[in-house]
C-alpha cells in the first residue's frame, strides 16, 4: 500500500511539473500588415499629444481599448473648425472626420507599438458640429469609417453612431471616439 501511495504521489508531482512547463494557448497575432498599409496609403501619423483636460487618450481593460474623442487636428497643429452646413461643406466635414481617424490611429500605434495588434474596430461614436437642419452626419463620419476599412479591411468595419452637435470643444468640426479589440 505504501508503494502504491508513493507511486501515485510521484505521478501527480510529475504531472504538475509538466503542466507548469507547458504554455497555455493564447490568441496568436496574425501576420497583419496594418503598419505597412498606413505607409502604402501615404499616411503620416502625428505625434500623440497629452490631453488638455483631466482625462487620458486611451484606457485598456483586458483586450479592449477605449479611445477618448479626437478631433481634426492637422499636421501643422491647427484644427479644422466650423459648422458643417455653414462654414464647411459635407466634403470638408468628411475630410475632417478622416483626419480625426488618422489621429486615433496615432493613439493606437503609440499605445500598442504596432497597429498589427488590432483585432477589430468594435464601436465608433462620431459627433458632427452642424446646423440643426443638417442631416448628413453619417456621410461626414464616413470619412473616419472609410479610413478604418482602408487600413484594417473587414476588421475595420464597426458599429457606429453619427450624431449632430450644436457645439464641440474649441469649435472643432467633428469629434470621434472608438472602442477597439486587440490580440
Asked whether residue 85 carries a pLDDT value surpassing 60, the answer given is: yes
Cα distance between residue 38 and residue 104, in whole Å: 13
Start-end of H helices in the chain: 2-21, 34-40, 90-112, 137-152
Nearest alpha-carbon partner for 141 in 107, 108, 173: 173
Are 71 and 169 contacting, i.e. CB atoms less than 8 angstroms apart?
yes
> Which residue did the predictor score with more confidence, 69 or 28?
69
| pLDDT at res. 21 | 41
- Averaged over 31-58, what is the pLDDT? 95
| pLDDT at res. 130 | 98
4, 23, 32, 98, 132 from 142: Cα distances, Å: 71, 42, 23, 8, 20
| pLDDT at res. 32 | 86
Domain map (residue ranges) of the chain: 34-182
Asked whether residue 136 carries a pLDDT value surpassing 80, the answer given is: yes
CATH architecture of 34-182: 2-Layer Sandwich (3.30)
Residues facing residue 165 across a β-bridge: 129
Q: Summarize pLDDT for 20-38 with one digit per residue, the tens.
A: 444 434 556 678 899 999 9
Amino acid at each position: 500500500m505504501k508503494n502504491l501511495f508513493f507511486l501515485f504521489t510521484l505521478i501527480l508531482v510529475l504531472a504538475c511539473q509538466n503542466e507548469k512547463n507547458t504554455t497555455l494557448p493564447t490568441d496568436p497575432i496574425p501576420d497583419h500588415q496594418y503598419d505597412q498599409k498606413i505607409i502604402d496609403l501615404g499616411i503620416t501619423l502625428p505625434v500623440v499629444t497629452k490631453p488638455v483636460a483631466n482625462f487620458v487618450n486611451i484606457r485598456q481593460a483586458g483586450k479592449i481599448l477605449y479611445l477618448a474623442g479626437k478631433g481634426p487636428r492637422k499636421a501643422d497643429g491647427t484644427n479644422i473648425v466650423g459648422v458643417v452646413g455653414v462654414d464647411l461643406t459635407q466634403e470638408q466635414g468628411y475630410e475632417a472626420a478622416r483626419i480625426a481617424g488618422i489621429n486615433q490611429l496615432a493613439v493606437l500605434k503609440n499605445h500598442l507599438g504596432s497597429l498589427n495588434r488590432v483585432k477589430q474596430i468594435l464601436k465608433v461614436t462620431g459627433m458632427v458640429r452642424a446646423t440643426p437642419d443638417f442631416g448628413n452626419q453619417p456621410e461626414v463620419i464616413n470619412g473616419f469609417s472609410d479610413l478604418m476599412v482602408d487600413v484594417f479591411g473587414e476588421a475595420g468595419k464597426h458599429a457606429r453612431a453619427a450624431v449632430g452637435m450644436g457645439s464641440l470643444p474649441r469649435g472643432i468640426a467633428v469629434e470621434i471616439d472608438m472602442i477597439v479589440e486587440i490580440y
